[in-house]
Amino acid sequence: MAVDFPKTFGYPKLEEHAPFQEPPPVIITPCDPWPRPYYLEEGLRKVAPYHFTYNTYCKERWRGRELLDIFASEFRDRPAEYYKDAIERGAVVVNGKAVPTTAHIVKNGDIISHTLHRHEPPVTALPITVLHEDNDMIVINKPAGVPVHPAGRYNFNSVIEIMRAERGHQFNPLPCNRLDRLTSGVMFIAKNPKAAEKLSLEISGRTVRKEYVARVRGEFPEETVVCDKPILQVSPKLGLNRVRASGKTAKTVFKRLDYYPPTLAEEVQELSVEDSKRAEARPWMKKGGYSIVRCLPVTGRTHQLRVHLQFLGHPIGNDPIYCNQRVWGATLGANDADASQDTDEDVITRLGRMGKSEVADAVAYHDEMVDEYNKKKAEKMSGKLCEVCDTALYTDPGEQELSLWLHSLRYEDAGGKWSYVSPLPAWAMPPEGQSGATSVGGMDELVEAVKDENPEIAGVS
């Protein structure tokens, strides 16, 4: 089967192997397209669907169970009918060989291979820009919305694979620090294992300090704020964290860079909404405008900046989890260290509902704004099926699903040996018609707030 790509990007036809006629050797995917099947459309980097083989060793709980039973209960992204058909036509094999029946018993040591037609979500078409490069390291400015590693539904649409596609099949990029998919900013990509290990040791040794910028709801305090509230992961499955006394130690320094008050039109709209009874139970609605905040994480807990900003009552304005009233209720989780306002169970249940049938709204807006938000194009089930594999297809993601107003601005050695700073993102620049900061100074002011308790961050041994 040949796949055609848009002529404007000069991709040749990609010859795929005829799938399932000869079961592929175990561990080897039947198709590794090169060049990668990218094409650009409406500001998005897309990947043409392709066949791919997943290989999984038999888990202990699978031993002695029927093959179809394992797939139907463990891999629930597709119906049992799909897995039955896949086993019967040889798309699912054991140790590289087709099995005679769906009731085949899986044993310890077996390798189960599943070849399927893979559909990847689009990511932004913005380039991965290089801030610095030498013989050992590349310092990049990662665009928002692109995962670092292949994971879940993403494979070729990842920083690793995009860089490999740009530099050649033999290039093996080695990320040294991690950024969430929605977060943009400074990342280190080592060219060899020795360089990766050296920087990783520096980072783990806490002699490297980093600074982020965030765009948050309301007027953040002018004075330096140190938040040292512990953070607990309340749902590993949903990736949900919150401030809790029983959590892990966490500390962040915050300093406001600028505050931009609401426009006249927004003030009029907010006043009219505040006059309504609905607004009485929604204190976040009275937080007009937004602030650009500098963030120095002293520790490195998952979602630390997002959780601490939420607790302080100034969540990141477009955060689909921590600035979402449908998940956190009227107070958006502010000052709720003991979960007395919203229990973990309530929050987890609400977050679990958010998904492909219900657009996750970053709701730091009033009803009219939420309605407008929901009208925007967002990734959800399209109602269409793939003609090749009958997979349910999604629509393209909207802007709110490709960006979080959180940016890794700077990484530097605490002793002053090196420093890399990226430009401020567009959302952190002054809005049209208003004046404000267009750059950030040094980190001394942030470090000053914690240097006595955390001398390592000030470069003092």
- Whether a cis peptide bond, with omega within 30° of 0, leads into 100 is no
Separation CA 147–CA 169 (nearest Å): 19
- Per residue in 19-40, is it b (16+ CB within 10 Å) or e — as a string? bbeebbebeebbbebeebbbbe
Dihedral of the alpha carbons of 384, 389, 390, 392, in degrees to the nearest 10: -50
User: How many CA atoms within 13 Å lie on the side-chain side of 432?
Assistant: 0
Of residues 230, 233, 244, 234, the one with CA closest to residue 340: 244
In contact, 406 and 214? CB cutoff 8 Å = yes
Separation CA 179–CA 51 (nearest Å): 28
Structure tokens at 450: 């914690």
CA distances from 245 to 145, 264, 337 (A): 32, 41, 7
In contact, 395 and 379? CB cutoff 8 Å = yes
In contact, 188 and 163? CB cutoff 8 Å = no
Of residues 278, 295, 437, 434, the one with CA closest to residue 370: 278
Angle, helices 67-74 vs 80-88, to 10°: value is: 140
Separation CA 323–CA 400 (nearest Å): 13
Neighbours of 163 (CB within 10 A): 19
Of residues 252, 206, 210, 244, the one with CA closest to residue 228: 252
Separation CA 137–CA 104 (nearest Å): 49
Structure tokens at 405: 């107003």
Structure tokens at 249: 């130690």
Write out the catalytic residue numbers.
180
Angle, helices 367-375 vs 264-274, to 10°: value is: 120
Of residues 291, 213, 289, 195, the one with CA closest to residue 252: 213
